[in-house]
Structure 1
């Protein structure tokens, strides 16, 4: 049997003890694991960071909404100045007693629906009305009431110089205005009262004295120039 030289044995020993090489597949697997872990950590960070930002925005939005809501409650106008071709009529709005009607009235003011509106029906010792004179069935009802106002019950349910609007919904979002010129007992059946005249009663009376035709329409146009909302007088 041939003897192995010491030098050859030393070389074989070094080869056995030396580190084994890492394959490319193993490197790829470890690299993939690192990438997946990094992606997972980055995704988790973005998720929690965005969630925190959303919570802050929601809190800020809620605070702004509450603040806006409070300011709207505080800033609801208490008065309306109705400027007519005969002069100005100042009205105190019953925002607590008729909040929905007052809200609709304010919206109509902002949209300018009252600019140019005519007082199309003037019945002495009864009401003056601005709105749509062509609504079917409306003219006969109100004119008959005007003719017989002296025969109404004397128990007062509706005072003079009250501002109201018809309880009947208007097509196209219209909004008519009634101002009573005498205590009328049964108007609560027809009108939602949402204010009262506190200044300009003489203007109301002047409009009331206008010459009218047989349908109680003023012979000379009397209209609303504008309505100004105010928090304080």
Structure 2
């Protein structure tokens, strides 16, 4: 058997221990796989983040929305009344009735209107949400309204206006009133601070519910929540 020279053995040893060469194609493929994994992780993170925000906003609360309005100019200009008959969208008169609008927004933040029933429904006149006490007020409004309608030809209040009764406001209360017809003059009873811009059909549907002799709905109808919006 022929003897291998030391120099040949050294060369064979170096060849065995030398690192295996990796092709350029393999390196490119590895980099692409790593990049795809990174992009996939980023996309997954963004998806779940958005879904979490959407989920928290789906059960919308006025308190959460109000926290986002840090400046006076950023106060919401619209309110969506979620009623048992459907949605009523209202434009708020921030400039015309700023104090009343501020009070309304504050009460929305506190959940004051959640579960508020429409205590009086007077067809072709108003629907009123709030305390069901004081049953004579509705009759008083109707008698004065009919009397003034015979004398006044240019009504100041149009249909589908949103307001609150002055007596409750002065006593730290707050009722919601939506007119369903032009009202001759309710300035001594009502402070208008908004108007319905969408959902007039819902107002009319509420107006058609059956009531007793005191204009109280025989079946429950009311507000289940209020959503505040900066823009519509």
Aligned 8 A contact 2:90 2:196 in 1: yes
Distance verdict in 2 for CA 1:88–1:176, change over 3 Å: same
Report the TM-score when normalising by structure 2. Answer: 0.65
Closer, same or farther in 2 for the Cα pair 1:84/1:136, shift >3 Å?
A: closer
Specify the alignment match of 2:43 in structure 1: none
Structure 1 pair 168–88 and aligned structure 2 pair: CA distance change class (3 A)? same
* Equivalent in the alignment of 1:203: 202
Q: CA deviation at 1:133?
A: 1.8
User: How many angstroms apart in 2 are the aligned matches of 1:199 and 1:87?
Assistant: 11
Aligned length: 165
Structure 1 residues 98 and 142: CA distance shift in structure 2, 3 A: same
| Contact 2:145/2:184, CA 8 A, preserved across alignment | no
Q: Which has the larger radius of gyration?
A: 1
Q: Would you identify which runs of 4 or more consecutive aligned residues in structure 1 move more than 6 Å? A: none
Matches within 5 A, 1:59-138: 71-135=70-134, 138=137
1:137 to partner: Cα distance? 5.1
Structure 2 gap ranges (5+): 1-68
Three-state SS of the structure 2 residue aligned to 1:141 is helix
Look up the match of 1:216. Answer: 215
Q: RMSD over aligned Cα, in angstroms?
A: 2.3
Aligned to 1:230: 229
Q: What's the CA shift for 1:75?
A: 1.6
2:186 is aligned with 1:187: yes
Aligned pair in 2 of structure 1 residues 153, 171: CA closer, same or farther (>3 Å)? closer
Three-state SS of the structure 2 residue aligned to 1:168 is helix
Deviation at 1:141, TM superposition (A): 1.7
Task: Say if 1:214 and 1:151 are closer, same or farther in 2 by CA, change over 3 A.
Answer: farther
* Aligned residues of 1:115 and 1:227 also touching (Cα < 8 A): yes
Query: Match of 2:140?
Result: 141
Query: How far does residue 128 in structure 1 lie from its aligned partner after superposition?
Result: 0.4
Which residue does 1:154 correspond to in 2? 153
